[in-house]
Amino acid sequence: MKNLLFLLTLGMVLSFIACDREGEGSENNGNGSETEGPTIEEDFTVVGRWNFETVEAEGQVQGIDQSDKDNSPTGYVLFNPDGTGIFDFGINLLAMEFGKLDSITWTRESNELVRIIESDGDINDWRLIRGNDALVEASWDVNISASNFATFTAVLTQE
């Protein structure tokens, strides 16, 4: 009888764990119902001119964990349909200035990944978080030196 009770209890625990995992990736929207997290619309394209609205950084500077947000970055990224484009932006984060005026080539590697290659050969892999006709949110890693690195997350709007 104890073995049967143990098996029933174990089965209930495992079913609760399985149900909980089915809900992973969803968020509570504050009114008690759950919604899916950020999404990329099925027909989303990065082609166009995207203006920087905000940029956040999480990383380390001189071995110290830091986070920062630039609420007024300047500039844009232009993705042409032929896989070429332009970086033209200025961002102030983590007590450093980041700026770029450069021609790029780009490819959409998957629904969630855009690979950007700068004219000097530097590669930026943008991980798309959200994307629709008006807005794109993407993150990418920045390695400044061995002790200075960060993950940037930017929100850009379509012109």
Q: List pLDDT tens digits, range 34-57.
A: 445 568 998 899 999 999 999 999
Q: How many angstroms separate the CA atoms of 77 and 142, rounded?
A: 17
CATH 2.40.128 is the classification of domain 48-158: yes
Given pLDDT bands bounded at 50, 70 and 90, which one contains residue 145? confident
Q: How many CB atoms lie within 10 A of CB 48?
A: 17
Round the average pLDDT of the chain to a whole number and report it: 81
Q: How much is the pLDDT for 36?
A: 57
Question: What separation in angstroms does the CA of 126 have from each of 13, 23, 24, 73?
Answer: 39, 26, 23, 18
Dig out the tokens for 52 from the structure.
């920087």
Q: How many angstroms separate the CA atoms of 133 and 144, rounded?
A: 32
Given pLDDT bands bounded at 50, 70 and 90, which one contains residue 138? very high
Given pLDDT bands bounded at 50, 70 and 90, which one contains residue 144? confident
Q: How much is the pLDDT for 146?
A: 77
5-9, 58-62, 86-90, 132-136 — which is least confidently predicted? 5-9
The DSSP output letter for 40 is B
Residue count of the chain = 159
Q: pLDDT exceeding 70 applies to what percent of the chain?
A: 76
Check pLDDT > 50 for residue 85: yes
Check pLDDT > 90 for residue 27: no
Check pLDDT > 50 for residue 26: no
Check pLDDT > 50 for residue 150: yes
pTM of the model: 0.74
The average pLDDT across 102-117 equals: 96
Check pLDDT > 80 for residue 139: yes
